[in-house]
Chain A
Amino acid sequence: QSVLTQPPSASGTPGQRVIISCSGSGSNIGSNAVNWYQQLPGTAPKLLIYDNNQRPSGVPDRFSGSKSGTSASLAISGLQSEDEADYYCAAWDDSLNGYWVFGGGAKLTVL
């Protein structure tokens, strides 16, 4: 049971815009920044969005992040076949001396 809640799956056709949600609580998303990771099949996760809405160098601007209260969202516009992957949200949780919490992951399928 993950501390952050994500839908297990999402899908879209090429060119569409897809949104993946991430719900938490006041001790994690409500108090700290959200990061998003992309995990392509058989590979290590890759940082996609940091500090709620910042993109690391090399990440296309088709990917965007937002946060409101205790929820966050990852939007992918102009969906491409290579975007098919698992997406995880993460945030620092201030409870119990502090620790990182992850969402359960959302598998994105490009139809």
Chain B
Amino acid sequence: QLQLQESGPGLVKSSETLSLTCTVSGDSVSSSSYYWGWIRQPPGKGLEWIGIIYYTGNTYYNPSLKSRVTISVDTSKNQFSLKLRSVTAADTAVYYCAREVSSSDGYDIWGQGTMVTVSS
């Protein structure tokens, strides 16, 4: 059964880099059928799309975060990762990784999410 699991520090200091990894089991990040993405949700607020990556390394990012975000894929470990630089308190959120079937079919599989708090 396909599962996605986020991992990484739950606490990051302001101005530093947030780094998260999503481990995929039951499927391959090398599949040509899917994109792999990151979405976040600040406490008590709505969903915000961060970006996606294809197994070839092709990426798309949220324009509002693009200058600070890098998403990469490691096919040997069947993982993909998120780096968000120069974080502030506004980056405090639950971060989800998810599988995107297509722009029509949306995100069909989600990780459970991991809470990241940015401290000053």
Residues of A within 8 A of B (CB): 2, 32-33, 35, 37, 43-47, 50-51, 54, 56, 88, 90, 92, 96-105
Contact = CB atoms under 8 A, between A and B. Distances in A.
29 contacts: A32-B104, A33-B103, A35-B107, A43-B112, A44-B110, A45-B47, A45-B110, A46-B110, A47-B106, A50-B101, A50-B104, A50-B105, A50-B106, A50-B108, A88-B47, A90-B106, A92-B103, A96-B63, A97-B60, A99-B51, A99-B60, A99-B61, A99-B62, A99-B63, A100-B37, A100-B62, A102-B47, A103-B46, A105-B47
A45 B4 CA distance: 13
Nearest to A99: B62
A33 B47 contact: no
Contacts, number: 65
Contacts of A37: 47, 106-107
B15 to A, nearest CB: 25
Contact of A51 (B37, B63, B105, B113): B105
Interface size range on B against A: 20 to 34
A57 to B, nearest CB: 10
Given A32-B103, A105-B46, A98 B60 contact: yes
Given A32-B103, A33-B104, A44 B111 contact: yes
A98 to B, nearest CB: 6
